[in-house]
């Protein structure tokens, strides 16, 4: 078995950075033209798909063909679904309140501030979080037991994300639910089925690097960073702060697991 192709992988890191940056710069131009920077959320999944496809092309002749195909397909399917869902969800809406508040506090040129603090930051995060997608494609070992674990984690996570998003969209589409807290289906087992699904997806993609300890060592920062962002960073924590004062949310929080899916409780302390 050949060793990890460090030289080729190093070139791929630069190409992946370029791909992520290109997607975010194009998105920035769209945001300026439309006056809505919420479009950057669509670019998140799109940029990962671009990195996966660029890496697939560059890794030919270095990594195992089956592993390269699996990690590329899983990443592109995940990224395309997420980008499509966010684009559909945001149709007909104005600027996201988060970005409106941020730009209202900007000093100097708001467009340059948005470029620095939103688009370029997101391009850097895509590059960092995509390390398993890149490293796995340079693993020369044939697929083994780690691939089974990877696909099981990815599939479970993808189902949680897809079903959770569908259930929430259907709930919000009913005018009778206006102002109510979504507490049905997967949302009765965890307050964040989509974030939990994302968590599993990225640990699954990381598992595909475990055919080579060097690739796994390079990529291990990715699922750790993603886990932090989802649980303690810009995901769960910020969303719950936003919902904290909504009527019924305290009771929902008391009976529903904060992240890991668990049977709902009738009474109990906040988790």
Q: Cβ neighbours of residue 27 under 8 Å, at least 6 residues apart? A: 39, 40, 42, 43, 46, 119
64 contacts 139 by C-beta, under 8 angstroms: yes
Percent share of the chain, pLDDT over 90: 70
DSSP 18-85: HHHHHHHHHHHHHHHHHT-GGGHHHHHHHHHHHHHHHHHHHTTTTS-HHHHHHHHHHHHHHHHHHHHH
pLDDT, tens digit, 9 for 90 and up, residues 217-245 = 999 999 999 999 898 877 677 777 777 78
78 contacts 158 by C-beta, under 8 angstroms: yes
Residue ranges per structural domain of the chain: 6-255
DSSP 190: B
pLDDT, tens digit, 9 for 90 and up, residues 210-219 = 999 999 999 9
Q: How far apart are CA 15 and CA 117, in angstroms?
A: 22
Q: Where does the pLDDT of residue 268 fall: very low under 50, low under 70, confident under 90, or very high at 90 and above?
A: very low
């Amino acid at each position: 078995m050949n060793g990890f192709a460090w030289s080729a992988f190093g070139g791929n890191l630069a190409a992946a950075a370029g791909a992520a940056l290109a997607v975010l710069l194009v998105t920035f131009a769209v945001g300026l033209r439309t006056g809505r920077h919420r479009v950057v959320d669509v670019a998140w999944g799109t940029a990962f798909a671009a990195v996966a496809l660029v890496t697939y092309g560059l890794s030919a002749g270095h990594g195992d063909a089956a592993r390269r195909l699996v990690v590329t397909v899983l990443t592109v399917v995940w990224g395309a679904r997420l980008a499509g869902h966010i684009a559909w969800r945001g149709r007909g809406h104005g600027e996201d309140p988060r970005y409106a508040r941020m730009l209202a506090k900007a000093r100097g040129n708001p467009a340059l501030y948005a470029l620095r603090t939103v688009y370029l930051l997101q391009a850097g995060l895509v590059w960092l979080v995509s390390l398993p997608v890149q490293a796995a494609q340079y693993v020369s070992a044939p697929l083994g037991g780690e691939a089974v674990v990877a696909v099981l984690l990815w599939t479970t996570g993808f189902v949680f994300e897809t079903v959770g998003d569908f259930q929430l969209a259907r709930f919000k589409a009913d005018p009778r639910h206006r102002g109510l807290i979504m507490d049905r289906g997967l949302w009765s087992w965890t307050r964040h089925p989509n974030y939990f699904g994302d968590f599993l997806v990225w640990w699954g993609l990381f598992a595909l690097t475990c055919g080579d300890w060097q690739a796994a060592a390079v990529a291990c920062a990715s699922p750790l960073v993603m886990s932090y962002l989802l649980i303690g960073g810009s995901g769960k924590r910020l969303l719950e702060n936003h919902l904290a004062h909504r009527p019924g949310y305290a009771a929902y929080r008391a009976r529903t697991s904060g992240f890991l899916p668990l049977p709902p409780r009738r009474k109990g302390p906040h988790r």
